[in-house]
Chain A
């Protein structure tokens, strides 16, 4: 097509030039604008789903909710300038409570799964309950477990992780115990194993004993997180902003230390 022909065609089809403009305008109009805290929570309250059957995350004492999730909910609400209102959920209904907008967010010791349930979004994680490798100074990582005896709770996550490492390094011997506590103490007290692989919740309870003899390193990361309805991006945005502040100013770390114990991996050996 010659240049004059092209110009004629463009003149005739000049409306085509408006198409990209319309497309961008349409895309722009569909972009969700996140409202301010006052707009998102017009009644000034943050409604939080709590499972009071799972201490230390949630329980009831003298008709009052107590626990990590309760304190976390209060801290998030305070940071947003809202009043915290708690509704009781159980583990099975923690997601339903946010899907049906009975609660703005559920803090119910929910372990963020690899596959996010439909209609639900997870907040930032507030507790890493991954697996810790507890050992003496000779063992810095899983790669140093060759030829070592590793204590685990029979059938638990630590057992599965030890089986994985047994395929990666030579001559790793897995020693099973009936509980994670016993597996841990087999290293810190009884000294019958070279290392233990236990969940962070158990390890936090024995942080002092671990610090006295050993050091701890995370082998996996498995986070507890809040749940928000997937159609409430605005709630998720504000709750996540508050959680980031609480993570950065160590509020959450203090809470976890108070209710469970300090993170052994964060301590100098």
Chain B
């Protein structure tokens, strides 16, 4: 009887009014769902090729933090139209392997898909350590650039999986970034010997997984810091330290950064000066060690025209210097493999002086320098 009573009470709710209201609710939810924006489907262009007279022209992009996929496509389309056939892009280990053994390739897959579609090859910069790979036993905090020696093999395994996955679209991989700066070495004293050990572990794993992929060491930051400095170590000394530690066996090309700062592009290099042609001094070191055939890759360079930065030049000087740098390298540096400008565009504005490095604003307003480079590389600009 009790069960029958309960059933009757429940059934009493199922009158026509209740059912009408339920149906109205379902209809309202359906209508609201129709108002929500549809998920974006980015259609690939017909397969493109880069038309250029400047095969060394390359630009550093910042696509890994880009949320809408169409902006990746828009960026890479503009890069191709500028006449650049290569990009440098950062592929943080911490983004891919957030938990040990669990890789998420979704964001790199999108970047490579669109780069391939635009006919652009990728120089992949690998770094940024996931938290699980940089925990100290005493629990003291670490920065995302700290890679303890016991995690070298984990990093090498990531690099191997990465290169095996994208080998057909890779121009090269860069093992770490600016290891001669304390900040980039996890705020520990920089050490060319430790870096060589990381390079050796990575090269062994990568060559086993994808023997045809070019491995770049560095990329060395241009700096004058003396031995014992808390900020880092001069690039020349650091490179010698690497080569003394036997690094030459573990890389195929040297990646360097050569910002021009306030100097003209053609200013002569000197040991006590930071300028674009400082890269010639690093070339000399490679020659000293008998690495005459080894190519140098400039993976970051450029001038800044932000009016509020002491290291900036005028907009006109930025254009002149950049074009001079490409002409000089083309005529004088047969050992140069690529010349990559920092930076095509940021996903969000920095609202500070780094905005003075871009070729396109966040909302894709192309700077005059973009068109000057397009004219240089393709012979014309719209």
Instruction: Give residues in A with beta carbon < 8 Å to B.
Output: 1, 54, 91-92, 95, 109, 113-115, 117, 153-157, 159-160, 163, 167, 176-179
Contact = CB atoms under 8 A, between A and B. Distances in A.
Contacts of B382: 167
B102 interface: no
A217 B351 CA distance: 28
A132 B352 CA distance: 24
A155 B348 contact: no
A163 B320 contact: no
Contact of A154 (B316, B348, B363, B366): B316
B308 A155 contact: no
A156 B351 contact: no
B368 A115 contact: no
Contacts of A163: 368, 371
Interface string B346-382: 0011011100000000110111110110000000001
Contact of B315 (A92, A95, A154): A154
Given A154-B368, A159-B368, A179 B363 contact: no
B60 interface: no
B183 to A, nearest CB: 16
B77 interface: no
B367 A160 contact: yes
| Residue among A54, A113, A155, A179 with most chain B CB within 10 A | A155
Contact of B319 (A109, A113, A154): A154
| Residue among B309, B314, B318, B348 with most chain A CB within 10 A | B314
Given A156-B315, A156-B368, A176-B316, A115 B362 contact: yes
B89 interface: no
B316 A178 contact: yes
A156 B363 CA distance: 17
| Residue among B320, B348, B352, B365 with most chain A CB within 10 A | B352
Number of chain B interface residues as a range: 20 to 34
B359 to A, nearest CB: 11
A66 to B, nearest CB: 18
Contacts of A109: 308
Nearest to A152: B368
Contacts of A154: 315-316, 319-320, 368
B234 interface: no
B133 to A, nearest CB: 30
Nearest to B349: A115
B316 A179 contact: yes
Nearest to A120: B351
B348 to A, nearest CB: 7
B319 A155 contact: yes
Contacts of B318: 155
A119 to B, nearest CB: 12
A38 to B, nearest CB: 34
A109 B307 CA distance: 11
A92 B319 CA distance: 25
B352 A160 contact: no
B81 interface: no
B146 interface: no
15 contacts: A1-B17, A91-B352, A92-B352, A113-B349, A153-B314, A153-B316, A154-B320, A154-B368, A155-B314, A155-B316, A160-B365, A160-B368, A177-B316, A178-B314, A178-B317
Contacts of B184: none
| Residue among A54, A154, A157, A178 with most chain B CB within 10 A | A154
